[in-house]
Amino acid sequence: MRINKFLSRAGYCSRRQADKLLAEGKININGRSPEMGAKVNPGDEVRVQGKLVELQNEKPTYLAFNKPVGVVCTTDRKVEKNNIVDYINYHKRIYPIGRLDKSSQGLILLTDDGEIVNRILRSRNDRGKEYVVRVDRPVTDDFIQKMGAGVPILDTVTKKCEVRKTGSREFHIILTQGLNRQIRRMCAHFDYEVVKLERIRIMNIKLDLPIGKYRELREGELRELQNLLSR
């Protein structure tokens, strides 16, 4: 199999991260620096920055975590204060699927299964990701309509999405794309400032944990998630 797929199956990193490590010359196969797209054969020795990486036979790990404000979604241990991996302190290497910015809280998934990471990040499933957003001034019907119709940010226009008012200064929004700080930028376009942003659902996985706690995905949740990704 290709080296990027090998590293994702081994739970070391995602395919995208593997390609980056390969381009930086940090991967060796049998003591040699491979080219992009190189394959790993049975019996080959793979090392990343000198560390041996092997395929594991144990079941992959899938966690749901209620991220607090202030925790950074990175596996970079150089971010010494409040990186998500050190915060959870799980007994084996896992990494977050996507991001949730430092100022936001709520549901994020973590795993050592690089295959499902790629499938979720590429998914355009209509179930999307749901957020509760609190802003600094009253929410109007005009604001709700315009947020759902598409907002010009980051040299593009956001996809149409479902938005509904849930309080005088609060609304729910379901996104099927993940632009950088998308909701905050969308609100800023209409001169609203986000006071609190919480993700409460990723596809079929719902937030049901206290802040700062995590749990393993249930068998039924994982099965439904994989079914959604296969469509």
Q: pTM for this one?
A: 0.77
Output the CA torsion sign for 10, 11, 15, 20: negative
**What 3-state class would DSSP assign to 146?**
helix
| Cβ neighbours for 43, distance < 8 A, ≥ 6 positions apart | none
The Cα–Cα gap between 154 and 3 comes to 33
What residues form DSSP beta bridges with 64? 109, 215
Output the CA torsion sign for 74, 105, 108, 145: negative
Please, how many CA atoms are within 13 Å of residue 38, restricted to the half-sphere of its CB? 20
3.30.428.10, 2.30.40.10, 3.30.70.920, 3.30.70.1560: CATH of 129-202: 3.30.70.1560
3.40.50.410, 3.30.70.580, 3.40.50.620, 2.60.120.10: CATH of 62-123+205-230: 3.30.70.580
The Cα–Cα gap between 131 and 123 comes to 18
Rg (CA), the chain: 20
Instruction: Point out the catalytic residue in the list 19, 76, 101, 141.
Output: 101
| pLDDT tens figures, 62-98 | 999 999 999 999 877 666 678 898 899 898 888 899 8
Q: Which CATH superfamily is domain 3-53 in?
A: RNA-binding S4 domain (3.10.290.10)
Which tokens is 28 given? 């060796």
- Give the pLDDT confidence score for residue 125 in this predicted structure: 67
Please say if 101 is a catalytic residue.
Answer: yes
The segments of the chain whose pLDDT lies below 70 read 57-58, 77-80, 125-126
Alpha-carbon distances of 130 from 15, 137, 164, rounded to whole Å: 26, 21, 11
- Give the pLDDT confidence score for residue 91 in this predicted structure: 83
- Give the pLDDT confidence score for residue 46 in this predicted structure: 94
- Give the pLDDT confidence score for residue 210 in this predicted structure: 97
- Give the pLDDT confidence score for residue 26 in this predicted structure: 93
